Structure 1
């Protein structure tokens, strides 16, 4: 009984203070302080999921970036616009290019004194502006982002309708296109970048602040609040790096090249090891993040098996080879698409196009690299040691093929498999690799050996 007062006091303390803690608004903070890319896109995805899981009242993006890839900026922008939790941007220093697009998507923008936002022109790796078709897409994207925040309409005394945008789409467009002229804001020939004071004046900043606490207390009205921060793990960094489309295309190149060279010299060697490692690096982060499902990986594996069977077991290149190629191509694409089982309704068309472009570019570059290496191996340069250089002359006693094959010339037999044009023939009690010299030869048809080359018999229909 003596313990009862202490238990009662502890219960009251837990109820009062525990309830108060639970009632405090929760701000979930995500730092984006590097180039916009696959890694920051992963930060946003994981951070948003964690915010929803913890029941956050607001998400705060702490921005300091000079930009990055359009594709990942667009993905982050779309996630923010569709978020059920209000998302606020705190521009610590810079929100340039892709960073500006992300900030404009947020419900409110707050800037530190001396911070800047703008300069959203699409540029290439050298910093030169891309052709107008790229700028046109970005102009439309940033306009629609600004328009998503709505507008107020008023009717003048003359009956005219005046639209007052919360964020003027023309100002957003001027951040992309140097040809846009806005009186007293930007002249022709200059891409718009706003200081903190200019952004407040033009409705692109809700307040100039020095800290996150000032945003929470002064602008969001939280007298007391909790703040949690998304902390990326080492795996997040690695997965983000491996999810880069350029790296994924390179991994596809290695997969295709490894498969080709391995089929040229069957057996587990360096090409197969390279292809297997590249496939693991390609699928593993996608599977762990929930993008790739087991059945999509199995489609890819089934394609490899069919292709190997077609090239090594089933002579020629027919249905199995075609299906194998389709399965490989499909598996690589589906792994990049964020579908749920066989439901593709949530997948945007641009995501599918992006996945196809990544895979196709990887396959094309893979074939190009394969042809280049096949031509260079054994020649001068760094590839010289990858092939046997010495020659083995017949006069020295070296024989390239068994002498028995030469004895087969002129003999007759039957086709043991379909020759289209390669296959097997039976002569006497033995089977031999053979190639139809003209057209295809059906199984069971009589054949005659006319010559032998490269350890193969060349036959014609009898």
Structure 2
């Protein structure tokens, strides 16, 4: 009886395990999970991509969104907008850290409903730095600390760890964090302090933790256009594109036809507007305004208006760039850099490009000079010293008979009456200069 009872208990255990597994799989069946990559630098192009991902997930009634985090951080403004998208999503979200979620990536992860980490991954080190790589000013730092605190408290996490990620003045003895260091949590540390709900080796373990075994897994990937947009909307790339665009178009004005400089300049400007349009920052009106501004600049070159067309053209171009950009300050700085680079290129072009080097081929240097046999009119050097008679009054121009040839002449400056004797004193092209002489001088 005892043996039979043991067998019955074992059979009941297996039955319960099978039933629970079946129930879990049934719970996941018919459900959909979106896996959305959050990779590389956090910038406004990534924001546009994640906005589309969340919007698409909501339209398709997806059951869960998993953000696969692998980012070293990035721009604070972009991180703030992305965190808002994640926080306000109508669909449950999980930040699944597959390698690292540093700086802005840590802040975005804290705004998800749950955080799950792979073994050996990290999150943290979220201090705000400026463009020079130094710590930001007190005002920006204070605002960022407030954001980190709010993100931690959003899901009842202890805010001291979030603050320690952004403020090197905070010490945490339990983790051996000393003053002057920023907190970076490993997966095991994050689990112990409540900054991660679980550790999952792969997606299968992740779905098991989320009780979504058997759910349909869908990959949401960047399109080619979005990949280009992420590159060209980077704050470092923008001034490069504008500089190449301005310099290319200036070089094109100095070269015959439409060649490589024009293609480079037009392509750079096209990439700028294309990327910002895909990212959702630019519209058709900004492109039209840019074309109008460029047309005014061309009009200023070929029809000088004392700078009026030039000023209006620059204003229109700057306005179009501001309308297309996510940051007015950033685009103005980029525009100034592009202007300086273009002016420097123009100075080099005027001063050195026609002397030597491979760039000499860019500019047409051929000239129709007399040394090469090009002559606009014949210089009558043989007439110099010849004498003749004024056929008309010279005041100072008129006609004269010289060597039995009727010629158009001009006096040296004085008035010469008709019929007076004259002598050719100089010849310059078609201009024959004469002076009045006496009969004695003629002899």
Q: Into which bin does the TM-score normalised by the smaller protein fall?
A: 0.5 to 0.7
Structure 2 counterpart of 1:97, from 87, 100, 103 = 103
Q: Once the 2 structures are TM-superposed, how far is the Cα of residue 30 of structure 1 from its aligned partner?
A: 0.6
Contact 2:128 2:135 in 1 (8 A): no
Q: Once the 2 structures are TM-superposed, how far is the Cα of residue 330 of structure 1 from its aligned partner?
A: 0.8
Structure 1 counterpart of 2:316, from 319, 322, 327 = 327
Residue of structure 1 in register with 2:384 after alignment: none
Alignment map for 1:43-442 (pairs within 5 Å): 43-70=49-76, 72-121=78-127, 130-133=133-136, 137=140, 140-141=143-144, 143-148=146-151, 150=153, 166-185=156-175, 186-218=177-209, 220-222=210-212, 225-263=215-253, 268-318=258-308, 320-337=309-326, 351-379=327-355, 383=359, 386=362
| Structure with higher helix content | 2
Q: Once the 2 structures are TM-superposed, how far is the Cα of residue 130 of structure 1 from its aligned partner?
A: 2.3
Cα distance in 1 for partners of 2:355, 2:171 equals 59
Q: Once the 2 structures are TM-superposed, how far is the Cα of residue 105 of structure 1 from its aligned partner?
A: 2.7
Gaps (5+ residues) in structure 2?
Answer: 1-25, 380-395, 397-443
Q: Once the 2 structures are TM-superposed, how far is the Cα of residue 216 of structure 1 from its aligned partner?
A: 3.5
**TM value normalised by structure 1:** 0.65
Q: Once the 2 structures are TM-superposed, how far is the Cα of residue 400 of structure 1 from its aligned partner?
A: 11
Gaps (5+ residues) in structure 1?
Answer: 1-19, 152-164, 338-350, 404-410, 412-462
* SS of aligned partner of 1:205: coil
**TM value normalised by structure 2:** 0.67
Q: Once the 2 structures are TM-superposed, how far is the Cα of residue 295 of structure 1 from its aligned partner?
A: 1.4
Q: Once the 2 structures are TM-superposed, how far is the Cα of residue 97 of structure 1 from its aligned partner?
A: 3.1
- Whose Rg is larger? 2
Task: Name the stretch that deviates more: 170-179 or 382-391.
Answer: 382-391
- Per-residue CA deviation, residues 372-426 of structure 1 (Å, 9 max, x unaligned), is 454442355554554578999888888999x9xxxxxxx9xxxxxxxxxxxxxxx
Q: Once the 2 structures are TM-superposed, how far is the Cα of residue 314 of structure 1 from its aligned partner?
A: 4.0
Q: Once the 2 structures are TM-superposed, how far is the Cα of residue 297 of structure 1 from its aligned partner?
A: 0.7
* SS of aligned partner of 1:329: helix
* SS of aligned partner of 1:77: helix
Distance 1:250 1:192, change over 3 A: same
* SS of aligned partner of 1:378: coil
Q: Once the 2 structures are TM-superposed, how far is the Cα of residue 194 of structure 1 from its aligned partner?
A: 0.9
Q: Once the 2 structures are TM-superposed, how far is the Cα of residue 322 of structure 1 from its aligned partner?
A: 1.7
What's the C-alpha RMSD, in Å, of the aligned pairs? 3.8
Q: Once the 2 structures are TM-superposed, how far is the Cα of residue 284 of structure 1 from its aligned partner?
A: 2.1
* SS of aligned partner of 1:184: helix
Distance 1:134 1:240, change over 3 A: same
Q: Once the 2 structures are TM-superposed, how far is the Cα of residue 41 of structure 1 from its aligned partner?
A: 4.2
